[in-house]
Amino acid sequence: MKRTLFLMLLLLSFVFSLFSAGLADAAGDPAGALVLRASLEGVIGIAMEDHLAEIFQEAEKAGADVIVLDIDTPGGLASSMRAMYQSILESPVPVVAWVWPSGARAASAGAFIVLSSHVAAMAPGTNIGAAHPVTAGGGDIPDGEMAKKVTNDFAAQIRSLAEQRGRNTKACEMMVTESVSYTAHEALDAGVIDIVASDLETLVEAVSGRTMRLASGDEIRLALDSYEVRRYEMSPRLKVLHFISRPDIAYLLLIAGIYAIIFEVLSPGGFVMGVSGAVLVLLGSYGLRMLPVNIAGVILLVAGIAVMILDLVVGGVGILSLFGAASLVFGSLIIYRAPGGELLNMSYSFLIGAVLVLTAFFLLAAFAVWKSFGRKAVSGSEGMNGLKAVVVSDLSPEGSVNCHGEIWRAVSRTGETISRGQKVRVVKSEGLTLYVVPVKEENRTGEGEKS
């Protein structure tokens, strides 16, 4: 009986172990392919470049089968653009660049990012292109050797990307040489992109089954019949950096910081304005470093600030300050009209309004500070000058006076003796000693009233 019971327990243990192993294997098997989805939205700069690097790290860590990048950008820094499309070209994981949602764009540098991807896709209602290099004023580069160099360099880059991904090199090159911009269906018909998809499900269905060649030379076939989508968001650190790289925010930080430093110079003391201004200027400068900036706009900004300071130095707020404010406004209008910056998404009404408000506040505050320079001191040793006192003990020439309800050591400035009870006026103070002169008119009036 015991032997039979032992054999039954042993059999149950064996069956249970097999069942547990089966469950473990089932739990270990993924439900399907892993699709890592992330967004590249906004100006292409250092923050966006770091964000893409973190996306690739997350894809490698999670074992993603494909990366889907939602693209919506007006362009940005050429250096960051090159670093980003080089990362995509060298990616061990297939990358699908999808211009999404409707109304989004892949303009200027964004077009290079899309064309470098293994699969280029667009949603209906989007556009791609307008990658022609322009002058700092926003116009075409004049004929000349430099114009040819710049245009040919960008054209060669985009041809190389199109050729590597098997796309229409001529149609892609026209985005640089002729500033052509395509709608989603125009880009598909021209061979610039591979897919038009309105939603992720349609996109994944169109991508599934495609064979792609990686940088290592290996070919991989995507099997996405069953898949899981995992969203990857930009880290808080990069969100902050990306926020200050917005054209309007970076500019306002810079202007507010400069004003704060000026206030510290005009009215030193607590260092709060100076330190705050320095921090704002550093943040604004960092943001501007991530943007294509027109040097003429920067010169106008600096000139505007310099003129306003000069007006304060030479005699208060006047006509020069108005010219300085005008220089700030015009500098704001053209500061981002640089190569890659002509398509930056920014609100000029907000920017101009904010500059006008900041300038008006600066002028009013600076005027108040300037007027205070001419006011009579009301504290300290200088605050005693001009005050009236009454002689407590004869000044011959030294004695004491009652000033502000306090007894002070006093000296007759003229050297004459001043009798007790007479009124005097303080003309100088040194430490705890007041130098006084008699107030003769009031003393005479007092004597007349006594008689």
Active-site residues, by number, are 108, 149
Strand partners, 39: 70
Q: Can you tell me the distance from the alpha carbon of 115 to that of 423, in angstroms, rounded to the nearest whole number?
A: 91
User: Cα torsion for 284, 285, 286, 288, to the nearest 10°?
Assistant: 90
3-state secondary structure of 172: helix
Q: Give the single-character DSSP code of 131.
A: -
Q: Can you tell me the distance from the alpha carbon of 127 to that of 107, in angstroms, rounded to the nearest whole number?
A: 8
Closest-CA residue to 95 (of 109, 80, 113): 113
Dig out the tokens for 71 from the structure. Answer: 């693209």
Mark residue 125 as left, alpha or beta (left: phi above 0; alpha: psi -120 to 50; beta: remaining): left
Q: Can you tell me the distance from the alpha carbon of 369 to that of 362, in angstroms, rounded to the nearest whole number?
A: 10
Spatial neighbors of 189 by CB under 8 A, at least 6 apart, are none
Dig out the tokens for 61 from the structure. Answer: 């860590």
The position carrying tokens 């699969």 is 119
Dig out the tokens for 44 from the structure. Answer: 């292409």
Dig out the tokens for 53 from the structure. Answer: 């690097």
Q: Can you tell me the distance from the alpha carbon of 93 to that of 22, in angstroms, rounded to the nearest whole number?
A: 31
